[in-house]
Chains A and B, each alone.
Chain A
Amino acid sequence: MVKRQPVGAHYGLKDWIAQRATAVFMAIYTIIFAVCALALPEFSYEAWSGLFSAGLFRFLSFLFFLSLFYHAWIGVRDIWMDYVKPTGVRLALHLVTLFLLVGYAGWAAQILWRL
């Protein structure tokens, strides 16, 4: 039996929650990042890369990027849905957004794990 409800109050709830959950995580990470950055003795390559190569910070940073890209997907998709009416154009913009964000996720992983 197909249980999916295409209409009604539950449609989009998952994205609504995901948008907020990722926002909360990013807000907490922003505070942690600000504190760690302020605690750096100097802004040099050694200090800066040292911060990001610490295991926990790298892990949290990667989660931040994944949260950011998922959050951006929902937000940018909402913008397309609000302003772009022709179905074909909208679909194309959705796909471009999605491909970009997935690509960015790979890029972010490469930046963080190359260290």
Chain B
Amino acid sequence: MSDVTVRKPRPKHLALNQIRLPLPGIVSILHRISGAGLFLLLPFLLFLLDRSLGSPETFETFSAVVGHPLVKLLLIGLLWAYMHHFCAGIRFLLLDMHKGLELEAARNSSRIVLIVSIVLTVIIGVKLW
């Protein structure tokens, strides 16, 4: 008997533009991206909190800064990041407790996370705008 087996070349598929992530994968990478974005903009958010709580004068500065359309857009983006991180985080906590581990349940909860975080962003965003 020959020991030689013909090995098929294993597919190495790390082309990021070709990989189609499943829904739970999308939720997972967005969790990381939203977390990184929130971390990067922490100094800006602390600056806003600082101005808003300093004095009536700095509160005016705060109002002027957040009143700028571009800043509003940025804040809506951060709001989505927070909402997504929040919802996806709760999903991960439930997964840690072995809830919703089955394929179908995991797909459904991913869909719920994506939808709920966008809906919350729209509701709160409209209220604050």
Q: Which A residues lie at the B interface, using CB under 8 A?
A: 20, 23-24, 27, 30, 45, 48-49, 52, 72, 75-76, 79, 100, 104, 107-108, 111-112, 114-115
Contacts and interface: CB of A to CB of B under 8 A. Distances in A.
Contacts of A30: 86
Contacts of A48: 52-53, 59
A6 to B, nearest CB: 25
B93 A23 contact: yes
A45 B54 CA distance: 9
Contact of A45 (B32, B39, B59): B59
Contacts of A49: 53, 59
Q: Is the interface of B mostly helix, strand, loop or mixed?
A: helix
A100 B41 CA distance: 12
Given A20-B93, A27-B90, A104 B42 contact: yes
Nearest to A45: B59
A106 to B, nearest CB: 11
Interface residues of B, number: 21
Q: In the complex, which of the residues B36, B38, B43, B53 has the most CB atoms of chain A within 10 Å of its own CB atom?
A: B53
B63 to A, nearest CB: 9
B89 A111 contact: no
A104 B50 CA distance: 12
B93 A76 contact: no
